[in-house]
């Protein structure tokens, strides 16, 4: 079986710092894969390489058997891969609904001439997309916050909104950068339930996560990254029961 | 009566130009201080074309608009490479370059003496010679401009531009083409500025470099700040308020040289005061 997403032989250096060192892994379709490792292990760099935000020095990424080499960030989203950011990067002066709408691809009226010369067509399409965006917000549990500005949302709600925004792109592979960090216990349950729900709908998730309890509860597969190198791959139990990895993760000397 | 008409026509022309500046600076966040250069190019093109009888007013205005579009795209291109503060410096240079050309290319622009005797507009055989006729023309064009601006801003295009100003990277992550959005915004802004220039020169029947220098660019930014960034209402209010000032000073009995200096002083004070105490302007959003 060919892998859904394959990262092969990726090296990436920033000056003298080698962030990714011959990184290889594959993830399977329809699974939740968690990417763990201590700070500076290269988790976010992996995200940046997969989504075209950073070109790898060597090596490459294939998605559904197709190489992503040389594709722009935009083209990679259109292939079906979308990401969130650790610091969310929401549009804080827009409403929750507009944040979601902004990510829906290929809208009428997204060019000045479309907007100016086909106003009725644009408005008709917008009202349809608005309904779609409301549905997405409803899906993540933010239906009642649709018309609120992002700056008035709680941190937990903002995290859910960042997930809503990647859903709006229509991508099938979702890269979530620490979706559960800094959340209260209740909000944590919410986001974990959401990730499970997305999985049952056929999405594939690659999740950077620090909270081992979250990892144990959601991960089908865990990738352990250390100093830009894939140290281990296995189930959550296998990874968390390995004393060597625990030592690295919790700051043992190595 | 003509006194009022003149004030309204000039304000309307500046509203068209303000829409252009607001689009670029307020909405997209490309902080350009060279909009007056594009305005000037539009004015000189219509002046040269109609004075030499190469074209009548309507096609000349279309050409001015198209040249404004092309020029503004070229002028804005550096903003896609250098960001924020650096672009201000770049566009400052572009403005100085434009002023130098307007002043020194005596063959084309008449140099510092300008081009006098621009014929009144001729709309499909109807000569617009009276001020009130011109008011109808400028109001009609302004209405078209406002409609276009309003339609573009309420459409997904407007939302895309606002999102880009807030966080370009997040827009890229959503799979949108940032380069295209910015270049097309610059094009739209350029078309507005070019046609505003054409109207301006024709209305005054005279153009010279002093209307299109750095002071003019800064006056434009002041209009956007005072009126209010990012809104249609703000773009309309700003020019009407700021152009009322010289008219009011004209009513006061002071020598013209003092009045000119007083005007600059008041513009400067207004700009600083609004930035400090009311950054959203009279009817806009915080810049």
Q: What is the DSSP string of A147-196?
A: TSBGGGS-HHHHHHHHHHHHHHTT-SEEEEESTTTT--HHHHHHHHHHHH
- Cα dist from B119 to A119, B40, B55, B204, whole Å: 36, 17, 11, 10
Q: Which of B154, B163, B173 sits opposite A73 (nearest CB)?
A: B173
pLDDT tens, A143-170? 999 999 999 999 999 999 999 999 999 9
CB contact under 8 A, B152 and A115: yes
Angstrom distances, CA of residue B57 to CA of B16, B128, B137, B209: 18, 10, 12, 21
Tell me the per-residue pLDDT of B115-139, one tens digit each, with 9 for 90 and over.
999 999 988 888 888 999 999 999 9
| Mean pLDDT, residues A92-120 taken together | 94
**pLDDT for position A212:** 86
Q: Which of residues 71-130 of A touch B (CB under 8 A)?
A: 73-74, 76-78, 82-83, 85, 89-94, 98, 101-103, 105, 107-112, 114-116, 119, 122, 126
Angle separating helix axes B2-21 and B35-51, nearest 10 degrees: 120
Nearest to A154 by CA among A110, A162, B77: A162
Contacts of A83 in chain B (CB under 8 A): 173
Predicted TM-score (pTM) of this structure: 0.91
| Segment 141-170 of chain A within 8 Å of chain B by CB | 165, 168-169
Q: State how far the alpha carbon of B270 is from the alpha carbons of B211, B262, B266, in Å.
A: 20, 12, 6
Q: Using the 8-state DSSP alphabet, how is residue B119 labeled? A: P
Nearest CA in chain B to A112: B152
Mark which residues 141-170 of B lie under 8 Å from A by CB: 148, 151-152, 154-160, 162-163, 166-167, 169-170
Q: Is the pLDDT of residue B287 over 70?
A: no
Strand partners, A32: A205
User: Please, what is the average pLDDT of chain B?
Assistant: 92
Phi/psi at A95 (nearest 5 deg)? -75, 165
CB within 8 Å: B157 and A73: no
Mean per-residue pLDDT over chain A, rounded:
92
Mutation site for B-interface testing, chosen from A49, A97, A115 by largest number of B Cβ within 10 Å: A115
Q: Above 60 in pLDDT, residue B180?
A: yes
Report d(CA B23, CA B17) in Å as an integer. Answer: 10
Could you give the percent of chain A with pLDDT greater than 70? 98
Measured on CA atoms in the order A64, A66, A71, A74, is the torsion positive or negative? negative
pLDDT single digits (tens) A203-235: 999 999 988 889 999 999 999 999 888 999 999
| B177 to A74: CB separation less than 8 angstroms, yes or no | yes
- Flag if A93 and B162 touch (Cβ within 8 Å): yes
**A114, pLDDT greater than 60:** yes
ipTM score assigned to the predicted complex:
0.91
**pLDDT, average across residues B18-30:** 93
Burial of B286 (0-12, 13-18, 19+ CB in 10 A): exposed
pLDDT band at residue A254 using 50, 70 and 90 as cut-offs: very low
Separation between Cα atoms, residue B95 and residue B92, nearest integer Å: 5
- How big, in percent rounded to 5, are the helix, strand and coil portions of chain B? 80, 5, 20
A251 pLDDT band, cuts 50/70/90, is low
């Amino acid at each position: 079986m060919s892998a859904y997403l394959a990262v092969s032989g990726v090296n990436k250096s920033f000056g003298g710092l080698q962030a990714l060192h011959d990184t290889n892994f594959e993830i399977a379709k329809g699974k939740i894969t968690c990417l763990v490792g201590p700070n500076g292990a290269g988790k976010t760099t992996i995200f940046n390489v997969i989504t075209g935000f950073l070109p790898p020095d060597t090596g490459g990424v294939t998605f559904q058997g197709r190489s992503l080499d040389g594709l722009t960030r935009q083209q990679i989203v259109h292939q079906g891969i979308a990401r969130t950011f650790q610091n969310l990067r929401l549009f804080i002066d827009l409403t929750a609904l507009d944040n979601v709408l902004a990510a829906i691809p290929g809208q009428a009226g997204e060019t000045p001439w479309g907007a100016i010369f086909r106003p009725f067509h644009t408005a008709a399409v917008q009202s349809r997309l608005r309904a779609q965006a409301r549905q997405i917000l409803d899906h993540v549990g933010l239906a009642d916050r649709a018309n609120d500005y992002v700056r008035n949302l709680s941190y937990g709600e903002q995290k859910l909104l960042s997930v809503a925004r990647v859903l709006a792109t229509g991508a099938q592979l979702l890269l979530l950068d620490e979706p559960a960090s800094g959340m209260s216990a209740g909000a944590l349950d919410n986001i974990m339930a959401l990730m499970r729900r997305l999985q049952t709908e056929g999405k594939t998730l690659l999740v950077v996560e620090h909270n081992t309890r979250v990892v144990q509860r959601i991960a089908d597969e865990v990738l352990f990254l250390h100093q830009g190198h894939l140290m281990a791959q296995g189930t959550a139990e296998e990874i968390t029961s390995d004393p060597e990895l625990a030592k690295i993760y919790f700051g043992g000397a190595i | 009566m003509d006194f009022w008409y003149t004030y309204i026509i000039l304000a309307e022309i500046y509203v068209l130009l303000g829409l252009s500046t607001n689009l670029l600076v307020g909405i997209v966040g490309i902080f350009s201080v060279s909009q007056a250069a594009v305005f000037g190019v539009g004015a000189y093109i219509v002046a040269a074309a109609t004075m030499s009888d190469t074209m009548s007013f309507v096609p000349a205005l279309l050409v001015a608009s198209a040249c404004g579009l092309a020029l503004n795209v070229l002028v804005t291109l550096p903003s896609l490479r250098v960001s924020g503060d650096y672009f201000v410096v770049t566009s400052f240079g572009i403005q100085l370059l434009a002023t130098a050309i307007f002043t020194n290319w005596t063959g084309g622009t008449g140099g510092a003496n300008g081009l006098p005797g621009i014929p009144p507009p001729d709309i499909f055989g109807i000569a617009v010679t009276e001020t009130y006729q011109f008011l109808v023309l400028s109001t009609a064009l302004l209405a078209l401009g406002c409609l276009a601006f309003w339609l573009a801003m309420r459409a997904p295009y407007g939302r895309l531009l606002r999102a880009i100003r807030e966080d370009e990277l997040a827009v890229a992550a959503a799979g949108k083409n940032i380069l295209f959005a910015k270049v097309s915004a610059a094009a739209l802004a350029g078309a507005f500025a070019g046609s505003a220039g054409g109207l301006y020169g024709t209305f005054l029947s005279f153009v010279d470099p002093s209307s299109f220098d750095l002071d003019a660019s800064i006056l434009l930014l002041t209009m956007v700040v005072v009126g209010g960034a990012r809104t249609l209402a703000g773009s309309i209010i700003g020019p009407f308020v700021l152009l009322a000032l010289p008219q009011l000073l004209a009513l006061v009995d002071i020598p013209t040289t003092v009045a000119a200096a007083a005007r600059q002083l008041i513009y400067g004070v207004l700009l600083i005061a609004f930035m400090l105490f009311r950054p959203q302007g009279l009817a806009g959003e915080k810049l």
